[in-house]
A and B are shown apart, each in its own frame.
Chain A
Amino acid sequence: MAIKKFAVACFDDEEVLFPAVKKVRDSGYKLHDVYTPFPVHGLDHALGLKETDLHVAGFIYGITGTATALGFMGWIFTADWPMVFGGKPHFSLPAFIPITFELTVLFAAVGMVLTFCYLNQIMPGVKKHVFHPRQTDDLFVVAIELNDQVTEQEVVDFLKSTGSIETNVQVAESEWWYGRWDKEEAYQQA
């Protein structure tokens, strides 16, 4: 939880956004984040973001599901309550495949979605500062964090020069908090 000051620039075209992002990175100002209404391909590379490891997590969850299903069914039919079905061995692997497959998929999907929510810090009841109400509509928003080393005017002028259609300065919470979206927080007005 930290309330910070941001210089914000809005762009209406991703083709203007890309050179602007490059300029911001070259300028050395502290880039807070970029918000887009849809996934813009290549933006993560332009921002120098690392590849996500979410799929690795998904693989681990999937393997856990496989092991759980095989281990559980194997234990039940060989140790806990061995039964003979149609003269087949107790550990009848082919018959276990369907449930094993389903649990693999189930574990991977549920685990990945929960991890996704955790990493992105999203959940019902979570509120975050929205720099521009149209950042989920048609605007691409770049937020630069202001600190003692730079003046407000300098950063805003710089952002204006990058082809943005709108620039302003906002004081806002930089992290998430519990809140209702129909309530306005006081510092968002600044």
Chain B
Amino acid sequence: MHLKYESFVREPLVDGDKTYRQVTEDIVSPIERKPGRMWYVGFFFSVALLLFGVFSVFWEVYYGIGVWGINRTVGWGWDITNFVWWVGIGHAGTLISAILLLFRQGWRTGVNRAAEAMTIFAVMCAGQFPIFHMGRVWDGFFVLPYPNSRGPLWPNFNSALLWDVFAISTYFTVSLLFWYSGLVPDFATVRDRAKTKLRKMLYGMASFGWTGSAKNWQRHEALSLVLAGLSTPLVLSVHTIVSFDFATSVIPGWHTTIFPPYFVAGAIFSGFAMVQTLLILCRRILGLEEYITIGHIEAMNKVIVLTGSIVGVAYLTELFMAWYSQVVYEQAAFQWRIAGPYWWSYWAMMTCNVVSPQLFWFKKLRRNIPFTFIMSIVVNIGMWFERFVIIVTSLYRDYLPGSWTYYSPTWPEIGFYLGTFGLFFTCFFLFAKYFPVIAIAEIKFVLKTSGQAQKARMNKYENLTSEDFLHEAHHDHVVSEPLHLP
């Protein structure tokens, strides 16, 4: 029986009366037409920001890491703060594409492609910081375990920093493969519609010669499912390992076992906020409001309020443990966080991450687009401050009061951070122009169960009693009546 059915309690995932052809048209046509003025303005602004970042990094590499504000006491400053922030943002993409796939959350289909792209670009940005933090960046390859002329002396496989090298590079590779394997059939769709020779050639290359054969699809589904299965523990492991960078040390404020889950929740929290920022703009500019619906936005806001609350509980647990442990150093660290010279960063974090997302308990606000947009930016500011609080306010007053200090960034550090925004948005603008922003094949796959018009046609079955329905189905009435699309 080909009667596909999904409960009416669930909102449609695709609004309007769409056919398969219309889905293709809606998603591919932004690729085929010239981008608007806003695109050019945004793109060139991003490239300019990127170039400023390149200049800032060049400055740092040429003159040495002393041009940054970090010092002997505060060895990790904006660079590692930004690293953790960007990696965290990356987590939402994999969560959406992998974990929600395993949980059979249909709404992920509308947003997974853009969220995965965001992951890849965010991890690219994140990777820059530890690399240039090395100082002598030309020796960066020393982290790789290759047979060398120094013994061979291998890297320390027991170090959390080396685990990071493996975690981040694996995460980037697997996310890229997962993302691209989904893109291959969609590139084939663009290729077969293409009118210009250049587009035919480029998308022909990019689509790997995909034709949509039944056997190929069968393998594609197996691949997607296994990659999702692999990515699920991977995404949890990556921020766990990032949190080990701190938790395996003996710095007050870092040496806690709560860090892995707390970091993972924070990562998902900030990642979803960034997805909201990007998709609210994307759906508007590319006219994809019928595919990224208010329902999608609300679903993501629910994740934000959940993970934001988890993060809030983690903050309070840290305070409780500082008191309960009766360790004076731990207590001092938290006293100074709350009321020390960096009090403003602590309270910025608390306000943005714990207090304001609670407004999302109201359904009206969850479904309010301008409010969500502002909130998504507030959350990301909050999450940046969280990393700043964890890193800087644990370091600036160490065990030796004589070396207590106050850290502020210099322009090359700020420029480096702005530069990664440039890199991120340059990539994202190119993605929005040249790639199908929504997974076309996946939308078609859920269209008949979750399209608005398709759902409406099921009304007559919805109103039947179960006996009548069985009776009808038994007499083949349902089966022999294909659900014709207009």
Q: Which residues of A contact B (CB under 8 A)?
A: 12-16, 18, 33-40, 43-44, 47, 49, 51-52, 54-55, 58, 62, 72-73, 76-77, 80-81, 83, 85-86, 88, 92, 95-96, 98-99, 101-103, 105-106, 108-110, 112-113, 116-117, 119-130, 133-138, 176, 180-182
The distance from the CB of B202 to the nearest CB of chain A, in whole angstroms, is 9
The answer to whether A102 touches B167 (Cβ under 8 A) is yes
The answer to whether A120 touches B218 (Cβ under 8 A) is no
B222 at interface, CB cutoff 8 A: yes
Q: How long is the Cα–Cα vector from A124 to B204 in the complex, in angstroms?
A: 8
Q: How long is the Cα–Cα vector from A49 to B145 in the complex, in angstroms?
A: 44
Of A16, A39, A80, A86, the residue contacting B221 (CB under 8 A) is: A39
The answer to whether A88 touches B177 (Cβ under 8 A) is no
Q: How long is the Cα–Cα vector from A36 to B209 in the complex, in angstroms?
A: 14
B31 at interface, CB cutoff 8 A: no
Residues of B within 8 Å of A102, CB to CB, are: 163, 166-167, 170, 234, 237
The distance from the CB of A160 to the nearest CB of chain B, in whole angstroms, is 18
Known: A109-B227, A135-B192. A54 touches B222 (CB 8 A): yes
Further pairs besides A18-B2, A81-B151, A137-B189: 10, Cβ < 8 Å:
A40-B217, A44-B214, A88-B158, A95-B158, A122-B208, A128-B211, A135-B211, A176-B209, A180-B201, A180-B204
Of A34, A86, A101, A116, the residue contacting B214 (CB under 8 A) is: A34
Of B157, B209, B223, B441, the residue contacting A126 (CB under 8 A) is: B209
The distance from the CB of A13 to the nearest CB of chain B, in whole angstroms, is 6
The answer to whether B223 touches A38 (Cβ under 8 A) is no
The answer to whether B177 touches A105 (Cβ under 8 A) is no
Chain B contact residues: helix, strand, loop or mixed: helix
The answer to whether A47 touches B214 (Cβ under 8 A) is yes
Of B177, B201, B442, B483, the residue contacting A181 (CB under 8 A) is: B201
The answer to whether A103 touches B170 (Cβ under 8 A) is yes
The distance from the CB of B430 to the nearest CB of chain A, in whole angstroms, is 19
Residues of A within 8 Å of B215, CB to CB, are: 33, 44, 49, 52, 120
The answer to whether B201 touches A106 (Cβ under 8 A) is no
Known: A133-B192, A133-B193, A137-B193. A35 touches B212 (CB 8 A): yes
Residues of B within 8 Å of A55, CB to CB, are: 222, 225-226
Residues of B within 8 Å of A54, CB to CB, are: 219, 222-223, 226
Residues of A within 8 Å of B440, CB to CB, are: 38
The answer to whether B213 touches A34 (Cβ under 8 A) is yes
The distance from the CB of A54 to the nearest CB of chain B, in whole angstroms, is 5
- Ordered by A's residue number, 7 sampled pairs between the chains whose C-beta atoms are within 8 Å are A37-B189, A43-B217, A62-B230, A86-B158, A120-B213, A130-B192, A182-B204
The distance from the CB of A140 to the nearest CB of chain B, in whole angstroms, is 9
Query: Per-residue 0/1 for B195-211: is the Cβ within 8 Å of any A Cβ (1 yes, 0 no)?
Result: 00110110111101111
Residues of A within 8 Å of B249, CB to CB, are: none
Interface residue ranges of B221-275 to A (CB < 8 Å) = 221-223, 225-227, 230-231, 233-234, 237, 241, 244
Residues of A within 8 Å of B214, CB to CB, are: 33-36, 40, 43-44, 47, 49
The answer to whether A182 touches B227 (Cβ under 8 A) is no
Residues of A within 8 Å of B177, CB to CB, are: 109-110, 113
Q: How long is the Cα–Cα vector from A124 to B202 in the complex, in angstroms?
A: 10
The answer to whether A109 touches B218 (Cβ under 8 A) is no
Q: How long is the Cα–Cα vector from A129 to B213 in the complex, in angstroms?
A: 11
Q: How long is the Cα–Cα vector from A116 to B167 in the complex, in angstroms?
A: 24
